[in-house]
Structure 1
Amino acid sequence: MLWFLTCVAALIGGYVIYGAFVEKVFGINEKRQTPAHTKQDGVDYVPMSTKKVYLVQLLNIAGVGPIFGPIMGALYGPAAMLWIVLGCIFAGAVHDYFSGMLSVRNGGASVPSITGRYLGNGAKHFMNLFAIVLLLLVGVVFVSAPAGMITNLINDQTDWTVSMGTMVGIIFAYYILATIVPVDKIIGRFYPLFGALLIFMSVGLMTAIAFSSEHTIMSDFAVSDMFSNLNPKDMPLWPALFITIACGAISGFHATQSPLMARCMENEKNGRFVFFGAMIGEGIIALIWCAIALSFFGSLDSLQDAVANGGPGNVVYTASFGLLGVFGGIIAFLGVVILPITSGDTAFRSSRLILAEYFNVEQKSLRNRLLMAAPLFIIGGILTQVDFGIIWRYFGFANQTTAVMMLWTASAYLLRHNKLHWITTIPASFMTSVCVTFILNNSTLGFGLPMVTSTIVGVVFALAVATYVIKVSKGKGETDLADEEKPQVVTKTA
C-alpha cells in the first residue's frame, strides 16, 4: 500500500512542481486570444469552460490503454508502477502539454501540420500517414474492445443474448454520429459526466480493495521487487514494458487528441491543468489498475492465468465484480467500457480533421464532414475483421512512434525559440531508442535481431536524431503564428 500511495503522491507532486516548470519554459501569454475565439465556427472551434475541457480531454486520451496496458505491464511486477510515474511526469505529461499548446499557438492545427512546420515537409507527410494509421488502429481497437466487453456483460448477467457483430454495428453507428456533429452537442455535453463517472469508478475500486478482507494491496512484494523483473514467463523488461504501458506513461495517441481541446480552450493559462493535468489524472488511473492487477489475484502466476483466459478484459470483469458485487461491478465495468468508446469516436473525429487539413477542405458544412469521414469508417469496418491481438501489437508500436515524433517536434520548437529543449529532447531520445530497439528485436513485428545489437543500434540512432534536430533547429528565432498578429486581450476566461 505504501508503494502505491508514494507513486500517487509523486504524480501529484510532479504536476505541481514539474508542471509549473514546463509551463514557465514554454512561456504562456494570457492576453493572446486562443483559436476557440479567433476561429470560432460552432463545429470544431467552440469555447468551453476549463472544467469541461479538462474532463473531455481526460476521456479523449483515456481509452482502454491506461487500463489494459497497466494490467499487462503488471506481469513484470511493481516495477511497472515506477515506469508509470517517471514516464507520466517527465515524458507523457510534457508530450501532452506541448501537443496541446503548440496547437494553440498554431491556430488549432493538427499534429502533422505542427510537425511539418518545425521538422519539415518530409516529417509532415510521414506524420500524416502515421497519424491516420494510428487513429484507424485506435478506432478499431476501441470498437472491438468495448463491443466484446458489453457482449460478455449482457450474455453473462442477463437472459438476453447478443452477438459481437451487433455490438460492433451499434458502436460504429454512434461513432459516425459523434464524428460529424458539432463538438459541443455530444462530446462537450455528455463527456464531462462520463469523466466524473470514470474518476468515481477508479476511486471506488481502489477503496474497495483497500478495505477488502480478502485482498491486501501488494502485500507479497518486497522493496527489491520494485526494481526487478518478475514476469512469470521471463519476458524481457527492456524494451517491451515501455511499449506495453503506453497510455498512463506516454502515448502518441494523445498528440492527435490534444488539438481537439486546443480548439476549445479559452485561455493559455489553462493549458497546464487541461493537458499536463489530464495526463497526470490518466497516470493515477493507470496506477490504480496496475495495483488491482498486482493485488486481486494473489500472485503474478494467477494474474497470468486470468490474462490467458480472456485477456485484460477478463481481469477488469473479474476484479470489478469480485470487489464490488453484481450492482457495483456493473457500474464499474460500464465505467471502463465508456473509456474506449469516448476515445474511439474522437479518434475518428481527429482523423477527419487531419484529412480535412491536409486536403484543405473546410468542415463547417455537413457534406464535407461526411466526405472526409466516410472512407475512414469503411476502412475501419474492414479492419475490425482482423484479429484483435494483431491490431493491438501494431497499435502499441505506432502509438509510441507517434509520441517520438511529437517530442522531437517540441524539441525543435524550443530550440528555435532558444528555450530549454532538454525537457523534451531527453524523453524523445529515450523513446526513440525504445521504439528502434523494439522493432529490431521483435520477431513478430520486426526483424528478430539479438537484443544487444538492437539496443546498441537504438541508442546510436537516438543520439544521431538528437544531434540532427539540435543542429538544424537551434537559434532560428522563429515566432509563433499567433505572434505574427497583434495579440488581443481575452474577453472571456475560465
Structure 2
Amino acid sequence: MSWFLLSIGLLIGGYFTYGVFVEKIFGTRPARLTPAHSHADGVDYVRMSTKKVYLIQLLNIAGVGPIFGPILGALYGPAAMLWIVFGCIFAGGVHDYFSGMLSVRNKGQSVPNLAGKYLGSHAKHVSNIFAIVVLLLVGVVFVSAPAGLLSRLTGLNVTIFLVCIFAYYLVATIVPVDKIIGRFYPVFGALLLFMSIGLTVALVVSSEHSMLPGVEAANFFQNLNPNDMPLWPALFIIVACGAISGFHATQSPLMARCMENEHNGRFVFYGAMIGEGIIAIIWCAIALSFFGGVEGLAVGMGENPANLVYEASNGLLGAFGGFLAILGVIILPITSGDTAFRSSRLILAEYFHIPQHLIQARLLLALPLFIGGAILTQIDFGILWRYFGVANQATAALMLWTAAAYMLRHNKLHWICTIPALFMTTVVVTYILNSSDLGLDLPMTLSTIAGMLTALLILSGLWKRIKGRTLDHEDVPEPGE
C-alpha cells in the first residue's frame, strides 16, 4: 500500500516541481494571442474553458494505453511502476508540454509541420509517415478493444460493435470540435473518475486481494517476468501511454487550437500526462495485486489484458459497479480513437494544403482513413499492439528531438528535452535491432551499442544544424509582450 501511495505522491509532486521548472524554462507569454483567438474557424479552432480543454486532453490521450500497457508491463514486476513514475515526470510530461506549446506558438500546427520547421524537410516527411501510422494503429487498437469488451458484456457479435464504433468515429471526425467532443467528454470524465477511484478504494479495502503482495524495494530493480522475457528495452515499448507516448504529440495540437491562454499550458498538457500516469499506476497496481502477483497475472490474464479488466472490475466492484468500470474502460479508447482519426485528417489536410471549412473536404480525407482502419481490424490484436508500441515510441523520440531543436535555437536549457530524446531513441533502435518478431534479431549488447551511437549521432547532427540559425518571426515576442 505504501508503495502505491508513494507513487501517486511522486507523480503529483512532479507536477508542482518539475512541471513548474519546465514551464519556466520554456517561458510562457500570457499576452500573446493563442490560435483559438487568432485563427478561430468554428470547426477546429474553437475557444473552450481551461477545465474543459484539460478534461478533453486527458480523455484524448488516455485510451487503452494507460490500462493495457501497464497491465502488460506488470508482468515484469514493480519495475513497471518505477518507469511509469519517472518516465511520466521527466519524459512524458515534457513531451506533452512541448508538443502542445510548440503547436500553440505555431498556429496550432501538427507535429509533422513542427518537425519540418525545427528539424528540416526530411524530418517532416518521416514524421508524417510515423504520425499517420501511429494514428491509424491507435484508431484500430482503440476500436478493437472496446468492441471486444462490449461483445463480452452483451453476448452480441463483435462485428456489430466494430461497425457502430466506426460509424461514431466518422461523425466525430468531421463535425466541429465543440459539437460532440466539447459537449459530451466532461460527462465521460466523471465516469473515468469513478473507474479510477472506485477500483483503487475497492482494492485497498478488499479482504480477498492485498495491495501489491510481496513487493519490496529490491523488487523495483528486478525482472520478475515468469517467461524470462528481457526487461530492456521491451518494458519501455510496452508501457507506452502511461509513461511517454508519441500518440500524445498528435493529440496535443487539437487542444492547442482551443486553449485560451498560454499560461494554461502546464495544467492542460503536463497536467494531463500526470493524470494519465496516475491511471497507469492504478492499473499496474491492480495487475500486480488481483491475481496475487506476477505469476498469477500471467495465468489469469492469458494473452489479452482485457481479461484482467473484466475480472478485476467485476471482482472488486460487483456486477453493477463492475459494469460502470468496464464502461469507463470502453469509453476511454473510444474518446481517443475518434480524435486519432480527427488528427489524421488534420495532418493530411496540412500536408496536402486542403482547407477544412467544408464538410466535403473533411469527408474526402476521412473516408480513406476509415477504410484502411477497417482492414487493419482483421489483424491479431497482439501483433497490432507491438507495431503500435514501436511506431508510438519512435514518434515520441522525434517529438522530443523537435523540442530539443527549438530549445537549442533559443539558447535555453535544451537538456530537459535532449536527455529523454537520447534515451527514447536508444530504446527504439535497440528494440528494432534486437527483436526477432519486428526487427533484425541481433544480439542485445550489439543492439544497445548501436542504439546509443544512433542517439549520439542525431544529437551531433542536430547541434550542427542549429548552430548559427536565427529565430523565425513566429518565435519572436510580439510588440507589447
What band does the TM-score fall into relative to the shorter chain? over 0.9
Q: Aligned to 1:263, which of 257, 261, 266? A: 257
Is 1:333 paired with 2:326?
Answer: yes
Q: Quick one: distance in 2 between partners of 1:84 and 1:94? A: 14
- Match of 2:29, SS? coil
> Does the 8 A contact of 1:139 with 1:345 survive in 2?
yes
Q: Quick one: distance in 1 between partners of 2:426 and 2:475? A: 34
Is 1:429 paired with 2:428?
Answer: no
Tell me the CA shift for residue 357 of structure 1: 0.5
* Letter of the structure 2 residue corresponding to residue 79 of structure 1: A
Q: How many pairs were matched up?
A: 481
How does the TM-score come out when normalised to structure 2?
0.98
Q: Aligned to 2:177, which of 180, 183, 186? A: 183
Is 1:275 paired with 2:269?
Answer: yes
Q: Quick one: distance in 1 between partners of 2:429 and 2:480? A: 42
Structure 2, unaligned stretches of length 5 or more?
A: none
Tell me the CA shift for residue 222 of structure 1: 2.2
Tell me the CA shift for residue 485 of structure 1: 5.4
Tell me the CA shift for residue 215 of structure 1: 1.3
Tell me the CA shift for residue 196 of structure 1: 2.5
Hey, what does 2:214 align to over in structure 1?
Answer: 220
Q: Quick one: distance in 1 between partners of 2:475 and 2:461? A: 27
Moved over 2 A (4+): 474-477, 482-488
> Does the 8 A contact of 1:418 with 1:474 survive in 2?
no
Deviations 1:85-117 (A, max 9, x none): 110000000000000000000000011000000
Tell me the CA shift for residue 389 of structure 1: 1.4
> Does the 8 A contact of 1:34 with 1:267 survive in 2?
yes
Tell me the CA shift for residue 197 of structure 1: 1.6
How does the TM-score come out when normalised to structure 1?
0.96
Hey, what does 1:158 align to over in structure 2?
Answer: none
Hey, what does 1:136 align to over in structure 2?
Answer: 136
Deviations 1:215-236 (A, max 9, x none): 1111322221121111111111
Tell me the CA shift for residue 474 of structure 1: 3.8
Hey, what does 2:232 align to over in structure 1?
Answer: 238
* Letter of the structure 2 residue corresponding to residue 380 of structure 1: G
Counterparts of 1:243-392 in structure 2, within 5 Å, are: 243-308=237-302, 311-392=304-385
Hey, what does 1:469 align to over in structure 2?
Answer: 462
Distance 1:420 1:482, change over 3 A: closer
> Does the 8 A contact of 2:213 with 2:293 survive in 1?
no
> Does the 8 A contact of 1:416 with 1:477 survive in 2?
yes
> Does the 8 A contact of 2:191 with 2:324 survive in 1?
no
Distance 1:482 1:266, change over 3 A: farther
> Does the 8 A contact of 1:415 with 1:475 survive in 2?
no
* Letter of the structure 1 residue corresponding to residue 157 of structure 2: S
- Match of 2:456, SS? helix
Tell me the CA shift for residue 482 of structure 1: 5.9
Q: Quick one: distance in 2 between partners of 1:196 and 1:32? A: 33
Deviations 1:4-24 (A, max 9, x none): 111111111110000000001
Q: Quick one: distance in 1 between partners of 2:211 and 2:465? A: 50
Q: Quick one: distance in 1 between partners of 2:336 and 2:113? A: 22
> Does the 8 A contact of 2:212 with 2:293 survive in 1?
no
* Letter of the structure 2 residue corresponding to residue 121 of structure 1: S
Deviations 1:130-189 (A, max 9, x none): 11111011111111111011101112xxxxxx1111110000000000000000000011
* Letter of the structure 2 residue corresponding to residue 274 of structure 1: V
Q: Quick one: distance in 2 between partners of 1:42 and 1:114? A: 23
Hey, what does 2:189 align to over in structure 1?
Answer: 195
Is 1:207 paired with 2:201?
Answer: yes
Question: Which is worse superposed, 193-202 or 295-304?
Answer: 193-202
* Letter of the structure 2 residue corresponding to residue 54 of structure 1: Y
Tell me the CA shift for residue 360 of structure 1: 0.6
Structure 1 vs Structure 2: percent identity of aligned residues?
68
Q: Quick one: distance in 2 between partners of 1:406 and 1:262? A: 15
